[in-house]
Amino acid sequence: MKKILVIHGPNLNLLGEREKEIYGQTTLAEINARLEDLATPHQVALKIVQSNHEGEIVDAIGQAKKDHIDAILINPAAYTHTSVAIRDAILAVHLPCVEVHLSNIYAREDFRHTSLIAPVSYGQISGFGVDSYLLGLKALMNLLNHNDH
C-alpha cells in the first residue's frame, strides 16, 4: 500500500469561515474526507497534517521517510512565498511532491506570485478550489503507479 503525506499549512484550519469569496465554503474536514474517498479505492493511505507552525511542517516532512511515506501533497499556504525551511525539507527527503492551492495565487497580490516550493515539486495546481487537492492527489497516485519519479 502506498502512503501519501498530506500537509495543510497555516490558517487552512479556518476554511469554511475565512474569506469565503477566495477559499469557498468547504471546510478542511470536508477536503480531508474527499481526499480519503479518492485514495481508499486505489489502496493509498493518507497521513494528514495541518499546522500553523513552520517548524511542525518541516518536522513532518523530515519524518516522512521514517513513516514510510511515498509522496507528499502540500498546500503550504502563506509559507509558499516565504519558507526556505519547508523548501529545503522537501528537497532533503527526495520524495515526489505536488504543491496545491485553492485559489489562483497568480491572480492575487504580487507577493503571492512567487512560490519557493514549486521548484522542488513535480508540479503545482492552483485555482480550482477543492479540485486542486484532488487533482494533486491523482497526479501523485499516477506518479507512484508508474514509478516515474
pLDDT tens for 81-108 read: 889 999 999 999 999 999 999 988 876 7
Q: Regarding predicted confidence, which is higher, 19 or 73? A: 73
- Looking at CATH, the fold of the domain delimited by 2-146 is given as Rossmann fold (3.40.50)
Among the residue ranges 12-21, 33-42, 75-84, 112-121, the one predicted with the least confidence is 12-21
Task: For residue 96, give Cα distances in angstroms to 20, 24, 33, 48.
Answer: 31, 28, 22, 16
Residue ranges of the domains in the chain?
A: 2-146
Identify whether 106 is a catalytic site residue. Answer: no
Which helix (H) or strand (E) element contains residue 23?
helix 20-23
Identity of the amino acid at 42: H
Identify whether 101 is a catalytic site residue. Answer: yes
Q: Which of 8, 23, 79, 133 is catalytic?
A: 23
Does the pLDDT of residue 148 top 50, yes or no?
A: no
Does the pLDDT of residue 65 top 60, yes or no?
A: yes
Among the residue ranges 98-102, 118-122, 143-147, the one predicted with the least confidence is 143-147
Which helix (H) or strand (E) element contains residue 105?
none
**Residues of the chain with pLDDT > 90: what percent?**
79
Residue 30 exposed, middle or buried by CB count within 10 Å (0-12, 13-18, 19+): middle
Residue 121's SS3 state is: coil
Three cell numbers, residue 62? 523530515
The CA-CA-CA angle for residues 41, 45, 49, to 5°, reads 130
How far apart are alpha carbons 103 and 51 in whole angstroms? 19
Is-contact 73 4, C-beta < 8 A?
Answer: yes
Q: Which of 8, 79, 101, 133 is catalytic?
A: 101
Q: Given this model, what pLDDT does residue 18 score? A: 63
Whole-number average pLDDT of the chain: 91
